Amino acid sequence: MGIGGGIALIVIGAILSFGVSDAIDGVNLTVIGYICMGAGVIALILAIVFNAQRSNTSHTAVVEQRTTPNAPPAQAAPAAQPVQPVQPVQQQQPPAAPPAV
């Protein structure tokens, strides 16, 4: 029962307590309405508390590896080689013109 169920109990209890004027022998509809309203308030408070706790959880991913007895062992992934920085390319100067004679 969530927030909607608590609100529904409050509404049904209010209708029985304040809106119904019929009488059933041996049943007091006003008291039943008050009981429904009390149960609805408790259900509403519990739903709000549980929803607040649910939003404060953290999730972690667990990865399990299953091996069979006759299977060869899994090879480890090759280690990543470090990336070397790129050296800037130097532009070469054209050769100087021979001296004029």
Residues 79/81/82/83 CA torsion (nearest 10 deg): -140
Q: Is the residue at 24 inside a domain? A: yes
**Quick one: tokens of 76?**
């480890």
Q: Is the residue at 75 inside a domain? A: no
Q: Is the residue at 93 inside a domain? A: no
Residue 91 pLDDT greater than 80, yes or no? no
Q: Is the residue at 29 inside a domain? A: yes
Q: Which of 39, 32, 33 shows the shortest CA–CA distance to 13?
A: 33
Residue 21 domain boundaries: 3-54
Q: Is 9 exposed, middle or buried (0-12, 13-18, 19+ CB in 10 A)?
A: buried
Q: Is the residue at 43 inside a domain? A: yes
pLDDT digits (tens, 9 = 90+) for 23-59: 888 888 999 999 999 999 999 999 999 888 877 777 7
- Tally of domains in the chain: 1
Claim: this prediction has a pTM higher than 0.75: no
Q: Is the residue at 7 inside a domain? A: yes
